[in-house]
Amino acid sequence: MITKTALLYLSRQESLREIVSNSRAFQKITRRFVAGENLDDALAAIRELNRKGITASFDHLGESIKDAQETASEVREYIRILARIDEHELKSNVSVKLTQLGLDISTELCLQNMRAILDEATRRGNFVRIDMEDSSHTQPTIDLFKTLRRQYENVGIVIQSYLYRSEEDVNDLLQMGARIRLCKGAYDEPATVAFPRKEDTDRNYIKLMKLLLKSGIYHGIATHDEKIIAETIRFASGEKIGKDQFEFQMLYGIRRDLQEKLVADGYNMRVYVPYGKHWYPYFMRRLAERPANLWFVLKNMFRG
């Protein structure tokens, strides 16, 4: 827990971000978890995933943008991504963070930017997933999603099982037919809003997973936890829920063996593929999530 808290603290330190982001050694190590710094890198990664029967979700890394012109640049990048998905006939959708699109500037700016992306996605028959960020953004994200969902069917949202509020949110969102990605959550949250113990987060995850699968809506079960995956498979089988009625989701570079096994077993698998120059916060959250990721980095740092 101390290591996780420390890594999440470091993920927010601007001075360290600059040092690490300019380190060639670290840039090389991050390629395990980040497809690269430019769109062509991500296209190549997704093409390889598709070859293995795995679908994807593009994520152009960026968050907490405070400049309106920067948000316009992000919109242009996502429109470019959607065009390239079509051009290369890739099986992929896109994921966005609302603070990347102006949520911390104004709700109206963020809505304007999201509508531009969703209009393009609609034109191209694609889907946009709104990522969930820290708990201070949970309600604004849900509110904005609801506004968009009344106009667009091709938009989904993420719910984090470590938040106490998530069961209520799931029940509320299912009433409007929301497509949900369920994950555990990767931010440093106080015990006033989130379960401090992993066992409780896992227990809540399983409860929410069952609500989602029984809803009859196509959802994403996003986890690398083999016990939760096994419980999902057992529950779906017992409820006669077909393998094509939901998908498992994982992060790029993590548990590739398990990704391929699930595909071989006939399950839908989608991998979240991040790329871009602003990889530091994302990378640090991945280290905080799983001790195996931190061990991978340390081992490669000291490898001759």
Q: Report, as residue numbers or ranges, the catalytic residues.
A: 131, 181
Q: Which residue has the tokens 């709104």?
A: 130
Please, where are the H alpha helices in the chain? Answer: 2-10, 14-21, 24-30, 39-51, 68-87, 107-123, 138-149, 166-174, 198-214, 226-238, 256-264, 280-289, 291-301
- Which of 57, 86, 62 minimizes the C-alpha distance to 73? 62
Q: What are phi and psi for residue 161, nearest 5 degrees?
A: -75, -15
Tell me 218's DSSP state. -
| Amino acid identity at 251 | L
Query: Residue 160 and residue 166: Cα distance in Å, rounded?
Result: 7
Query: Residue 304 and residue 300: Cα distance in Å, rounded?
Result: 8
Instruction: Classify residue 130 as left (phi > 0), alpha (psi -120 to 50) or beta.
Output: beta
Query: Residue 206 and residue 203: Cα distance in Å, rounded?
Result: 5
Q: Which residues pair with 94 in a beta bridge?
A: 58, 128
Query: Residue 297 and residue 32: Cα distance in Å, rounded?
Result: 9
Query: Residue 102 and residue 112: Cα distance in Å, rounded?
Result: 9
CB 241: neighbour CB atoms within 10 A?
16
| Cβ(155)–Cβ(148) below 8 Å | yes
Strand 180-183 versus strand 92-96 pairing type: unpaired
